[in-house]
């Protein structure tokens, strides 16, 4: 199975979600059964590392932070599940795939969040925004892992 996370530039939200999901899969013994990737709807950061503020938050919370940004391409679009970080990403992905049910919002897996809740872009805000994004991502992981387990 292939799960891909998508945000705008692939340097903040989607790479954070990718790393947290990898860790969640490892904790559940599923790491070898799922390919996990991330990408951005735009390519202006392609080839760059993760935003240092995202990397700092991940490392501080015990996650890996290795990453090279990429833009959505045919390999990403062929993923079994495309996990968008906000409604704009979801719209862009649904316009690009013939099966729109493969495209979901990440926070739809958080039972405490509304089904249409988004993960806000922390890029232009302060450092607290990155911590908040991590909390939102972590809250969605149990539900996402369960969805993947059911589909495998």
Q: Which of the following is catalytic: 12, 13, 51, 86?
A: 13
Query: Which homologous superfamily is 2-151 in?
Result: Response regulator (3.40.50.2300)
For residue 87, what are the contacts with CB-CB under 8 A and spacing of at least 6? 105, 116, 118
| Residue spans per domain, the chain | 2-151
Give pLDDT tens digits for 74-128. 999 999 999 999 999 999 999 999 999 999 999 999 999 998 999 999 999 988 9
Give pLDDT tens digits for 10-67. 999 999 999 999 999 999 999 999 999 999 999 999 999 999 999 999 999 999 999 9
The helix (H) or strand (E) run that includes residue 141 is helix 128-151
What's the pTM value of the predicted model, to 2 decimals? 0.97
The whole-angstrom separation of Cα 100 and Cα 91 is: 9
12 is catalytic: no
13 is catalytic: yes
List phi, psi (to 5°) of 83: -105, 105
List phi, psi (to 5°) of 8: -80, -60
pLDDT at residue number 135: 98
For residue 21, what are the contacts with CB-CB under 8 A and spacing of at least 6? 3, 5, 36, 141, 144, 145
Please identify which residue in the block is written with the tokens 């599923």: 30
The whole-angstrom separation of Cα 16 and Cα 10 is: 9
Count of CB atoms within 10 A of residue 135's CB?
A: 12
- Cβ contact 84:106 at 8 Å: yes
Q: Which of the following is catalytic: 80, 102, 121, 131?
A: 121
């Amino acid at each position: 199975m292939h799960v891909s996370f998508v945000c705008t530039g692939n340097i903040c939200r989607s790479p954070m979600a990718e790393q947290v999901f990898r860790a969640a899969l490892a904790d559940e013994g599923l790491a070898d059964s799922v390919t996990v990737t991330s990408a951005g709807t735009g390519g202006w950061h392609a080839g760059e590392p993760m935003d240092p503020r995202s990397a700092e938050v991940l490392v501080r919370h015990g996650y890996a932070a290795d990453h090279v940004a990429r833009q959505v391409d045919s390999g990403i679009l062929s993923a079994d599940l495309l996990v968008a970080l906000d409604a704009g990403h979801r719209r862009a992905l649904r316009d690009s795939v013939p099966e729109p049910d493969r495209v979901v919002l990440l926070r739809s897996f958080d039972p405490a969040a509304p089904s249409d809740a988004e993960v806000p872009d922390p890029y232009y805000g302060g450092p607290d925004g990155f911590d908040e994004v991590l909390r939102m991502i972590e809250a969605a992981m149990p539900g996402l892992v369960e969805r993947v387990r059911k589909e495998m």
